[in-house]
Amino acid sequence: MEIGVITNPNSRKNRNRPERVERLQRIVGRMGEVHETASVDSIKPVLREFLRKRARYWVADGGDGALHWMLRMGMEVLQEDEFAESSATLPMALPTKGGTIDFVANNVGIQGDAEGILAALRKHVEYGATIEETDVDSMVIDGIQLVDGREQAFRTYGFASAAGGIGQRFYSKYYADADPNPRTIMKVVANAIMSAPIALSPLKALPLGQLRTYAKELFAPTPCRVTLDGMLLPGTEFTGVHVASMSINLGNVLRFFGKADEPGLMNALVGTPSAWGIIRNLPRMMGGKEIRGANILDRPCREMTMTASTAELLEPIIDGEYYRNVKRVTFRVGPRVRIPKVVAPKAA
C-alpha cells in the first residue's frame, strides 16, 4: 500500500457527505486505502495499520486541524514497542486543503482541492513520477491539563499556536461564524476597528448592540506568565501570546511569523500592546512585516513556556484546535516533518 487516507465524517465540511469514503477510495484506487476516523481515539488503530502496510504517504482529508491530529497520533504510535524497535519513521504527511485556513498547505505550495490533490498524488505514485518533498520544522508541545479535576500531562505536535490574547480570541470570533472563510477574517478585522472607538471608551454605555462589547472581548488580555528562552517576561497578563515554527498566511489577509522560516527556530509574538497598538500594526500584519511597538516582542526563539497566573485556565489554540483547561504549556522546536508538494491540475 502506498497511500493511506483518513477522513473525519464529523468535520464541518463532511457532515453532509455520507459518500465521502467511497468517493476518495475511487480516487485512490488500488494504490491505497481510505478509512473513516469518527473520533480522535479511532485514528491510532488506522495509523498502526498504515505503518504495518508501509504506506509511504499519510493523507489527512482536511486542513490544519486534521493534519495536527494525524501527526500527534502518528508520533504516539511510532513510540510503541512494535515500531520503536524497528526504527520506523513518520511517512510523508499531506493535508488536502479541506480546512478553512490551510496555512500548512499554503506554506509549502500545495494547490487544488482535496479530490484534485489526492488524484494528483495517486497519478504520481502509480506512474513513478517524482514528487517534490518539503521538510518543515514542527513544534513539540508539552503541557499540563486538568481532566476531571486531576492534572494530566500531554504531548502534541504542531506548527502554529494562538496561545492567548488577541490571536486566541480572534479564532474564537472566527469559528463562531456559520461558514468561516477568508471573508470572515476581513469581517472580524472590520468589526474590531469599527467597535474599538465605542467599546474602549465611555460610548460603550450606549445601546449599540455588539459594537459595545466586540473590541473589548477581542482585545482582552490573558492572565499568564511567559518565559522566552529562559527569560521570564515582566507582567502577569498579556494581550498577545503566539508562537509558530513556520510563517503563516491567513486567507491572504494577514501574514505572521516570517522569522520562523529559518530552520531550527520558532517565531514568538508576545506582548502587552494596547488595542490601538494592535490596530496600528494591521498594515504590517497584512504585509507580513515585523510587528512593532514598545510592548511587543516579535523575535526568533527555541522555547516558550506559558503558565496560568490565576485560577483562570488557559485555552491555547494549536493549528486551529482548542486545548482547554491547560495550566502550563511549553513550545520547543520539534522534529522536521516531510510534506509532499502536490499541485493538482487546474480544471479546464
CATH at 225: 2.60.200
Question: Domain span at residue 74?
Answer: 3-137
Structural domain count of the chain: 2
> 11 pLDDT exceeds 80?
no
List, in order, residues 6 or more apart from 1 with CB less than 8 Å away. Answer: 31, 32, 33, 50, 53, 54, 55
d(CA 328, CA 308): 6
Using alpha carbons only, what angle is made at residue 191 by residues 189 and 196, rounded to the nearest 5 degrees?
A: 100
Domain identity same for 189 and 243: yes
Domain identity same for 184 and 299: yes
- Split at pLDDT 50, 70, 90, the class of 207 is very low
Q: How far is CA 201 from CA 59, 166, 195, 197, 206, in A?
A: 49, 19, 10, 6, 10
pLDDT, one tens digit per residue, over 243-275 is 999 999 998 899 999 999 999 999 999 999 988
> Which CATH number is 83's domain given?
3.40.50.10330
Whole-model pTM: value is 0.92
From first CA to last CA, the distance across the chain in angstroms is 31
pLDDT, one tens digit per residue, over 111-141 is 999 999 999 999 999 999 999 999 999 999 9
Domain identity same for 18 and 104: yes
| Mean of pLDDT over the chain | 91
Closest CA to 97 of 348, 341, 347: 341
Domain identity same for 168 and 271: yes
Domain identity same for 171 and 296: yes
152 inside domain: no
Domain identity same for 166 and 314: yes
Instruction: Please classify residue 19 by burial: count the beta carbons closer than 10 Å to its beta carbon, then call 0-12 exposed, 13-18 middle and 19+ buried.
Output: exposed
Domain identity same for 116 and 204: no
> 189 pLDDT exceeds 60?
yes
pLDDT of residue 203: 47
Domain identity same for 56 and 180: no
d(CA 177, CA 95): 23
> 197 pLDDT exceeds 90?
no
pLDDT, one tens digit per residue, over 210-226 is 656 788 888 899 999 99
pLDDT of residue 211: 59
